[in-house]
Amino acid sequence: MSYEVVPSKNDFLLFTVMNLAGYNDNNGILDMHPLRIKTREHYSGKINNEIILKFYNEWEKEQPNDMAHPPYGLPEELQRIEHRLERSDKGLANTFLELLQKFRESTDFDSFYDGEVLPEYEKICGSVKRNIEEADLFKVLNDAWEMVPDFSYKIIPRPLEACWRGYGPMIDGTAFSFFGPAVKDGKVDFECRRNLSLLSHEASHPYMRVVWDGIENRAKERGMAKELDTFVTKQKAWVYWGKTALQETIMRAMQARYINPKIGNSDKCPEVRLIEEHERGFKHIFKADIAIRTHKDTPKGSLAEDLFDYLERVNFEE
């Protein structure tokens, strides 16, 4: 596998407009990356711009009462354009793409980005890459998830994103890991190693998808596909539902014990992190931890097979 840490002009454009249109997570000045503050101040006079208001209205229409995420499908479409991948032509995303292009054409975005943003953005990417190399991050992930993936990664820091937010989609066989800054000792940046905790979580999503395929295959082999589906549909963990809730639970259990301690994020022991995740709403986190530890200590099959076998042994208890 291979990876690269790259700035994304299209993603930066999206988050510039989002910030102007009311994306105010971590809106306290001390909780923003300096480049986020700089961009918001630079375009402060554009907040009531007709394009920004139109973007806000469409965004609110798409996800009322939740302005904490980019419009659905838009980050993927922007990466398809930026990396010359085949477009999926999602109708909803096209509405936002048109507005983003209008903002770009009607403002100094290109000159601002190229002259004042990109040099700082490239330094951010350099810091992230150094942290990845020093921690040997992908060896840690390969060891934890017990596979060497056949997909490549594009890692994209988001300086205009809220702290501790990230996203890990797969786009045409390439794994993308978007992530915002971390906070340490009151400083918001991408330089401290704590960034690797969020990055490794987002980078684990594609691994988890492979493992989940194995879990579903095991269920079919055992004639228990319906039991697994029934169990999955009942799942709720924090803000997640269904299959995503169970996948997040497994990922967070893996993160606590087999990833964070090996990448320099071991300021809390695994048990403390598991308790925190349980209190956050991941009610099956201890079961997931037991299942993973049992497999690691005495493997009987693949990680996916042993995870399913554990679920079967506990009869998919709630």
User: Out of 186-190, 207-211, 246-250, which region has the weakest mean confidence (pLDDT)?
Assistant: 186-190
Give 63's pLDDT tier (boundaries 50, 70, 90): confident
- The continuous run of DSSP H or E covering 182 comes out as strand 182-184
Residue where a domain stops, chosen among 134, 163, 198 = 198
Residue 256 lies in a domain: yes
Give 265's pLDDT tier (boundaries 50, 70, 90): low
Q: How many domains, in total, are found in the chain?
A: 2
Residue 213 lies in a domain: no
In terms of residue numbers, what domain contains 119?
3-198
pLDDT of residue 72: 84
**239-264 burial by CB neighbour count: b if 16+ within 10 A, else e?**
ebeebebbbbbbbbbbbbbbbbbbbb
Task: Report the residue count for the chain.
Answer: 318
- Return d(Cα 89, Cα 84) in angstroms, integer: 14
User: Out of 60-64, 80-84, 221-225, 240-244, which region has the weakest mean confidence (pLDDT)?
Assistant: 60-64
Overall pTM > 0.85: yes
CB 53 within 8 A of CB 84: no
pLDDT digits (tens, 9 = 90+) for 89-135: 766 678 899 999 999 999 999 999 999 999 999 999 999 999 999 99
Summarize the confidence of residues 77-90 as an average pLDDT: 86
User: Out of 24-38, 108-122, 277-291, which region has the weakest mean confidence (pLDDT)?
Assistant: 24-38
Residue 250 lies in a domain: yes
